[in-house]
Amino acid sequence: MQCIVNRRAQFSASHRYWLPELSEAENIDKFGACSRFPGHGHNYVLFVSLAGELDKYGMVLNLSDVKHVIKQEVTSQLDFSYLNDVWTEFQQTLPTTENIARVIWQRLAPHLPVVRVQLFENPELWADYMGNSMEAYLTISTHFSAAHRLAHPNLSDQENAEIYGKCARTHGHGHNYHLEVTVKGEIDPRTGMIVDLGALNQAIEDYVVEPFDHTFLNKDIAYFGEVVPTAENIALYISNLLRSPIQELGAKLYKVKLIESPNNSCEIYCTESESNSASAVENQRVLMRV
């Protein structure tokens, strides 16, 4: 039986985003505070996913052996290091989160059946690499606070109460929404980036966080005057708001995950064209009217 196991590791290291062929002003313009000398540090958390058949002992691999390989090939070399100098790969391509994940894969693949490397730079930024040449995934985590009421405008209060229960009460209720936006793209062979991180953060802030934060979604966001602001509909709307701005940055929106509470969350995978996505929104409206 095929199974995937995951091993966690961690290391602390510093890095600097700086290209010697650019002037100081150009580096500051391109990388912002990340270009400052002598660099800055992170407590990285690494997850390595491994696939294989269960053996007669009920294991894919002996995790003690996996731990040893990860330590020998990765963490013992990177821990308390200056990443720009420690591996030759980072002298050609900067040690961004996505590029570090890619190079870790390359270091581990000869020794382990790796299917994914996930690297957290911090709890609000992480990258996934799955062995597909220079393609990687980058996720930004953020949040906003908003109120909503689950009630379809074409139904009576009693009908809404039967469908949505307490969530249909007249004055609504609020959540601290946790939002994860994942983009995918090709790692630039020089900068190590799949997208300008500052520009991506700004797009999410401008199109989602600022307009949504501290609002009553049903009344303050015109779209939800007709569409019930369930977590699913909110995530779907966010995906449509972000698709074009992210594409303009040279990446593709891959996934929007919205966590309404510790018990409720949803994920929208953005693999359809924009026209198909519009159809999906309309289909969602029809389902809510039934």
| Interatomic CA distance for residues 23 and 27, integer angstroms | 6
Nearest partner of 176 among 135, 146, 142, judged by Cα: 146
Query: CB count, 10 Å around CB of 202?
Result: 13
Query: Can you give the C-alpha Rg of the chain in angstroms?
Result: 22
Residue whose C-alpha is closest to residue 16's, from 42, 49, 46, 55 = 42
Residue in 98, 148, 260, 270 annotated catalytic: 260
Bond prior to 38 in cis (omega within 30° of 0):
yes
Q: Which of 135, 167, 186, 266 is the catalytic position?
A: 167
Residue 257 contacts residue 179 (beta carbons within 8 Å): yes
Phi and psi at 123, nearest 5°, equal -65, -15
> Residues with Cβ < 8 Å from 45, sequence gap 6 or more?
8, 9, 10, 119, 120
- List 173, 214, 226, 274, catalytic entry: 214
Residue with tokens 């997208």: 195
Query: Is residue 162 flagged as an active site residue?
Result: no
**In this structure, what token pair is assigned to residue 117?**
């490397």
Q: How does strand 2-15 pair with strand 135-148?
A: unpaired
Q: In terms of DSSP H, where are the helices of 109-248?
A: 157-164, 197-204, 210-212, 217-220, 231-248
DSSP string, 74-131: IIHHHTTEEHHHHSTHHHHS---HHHHHHHHHHHHTTTS-EEEEEEEEETTEEEEE-S
Catalytic, 186? Answer: no
Is 210 tagged catalytic? no
Name the token pair of 100. Answer: 């570090």
Residues with catalytic roles:
167, 214, 260
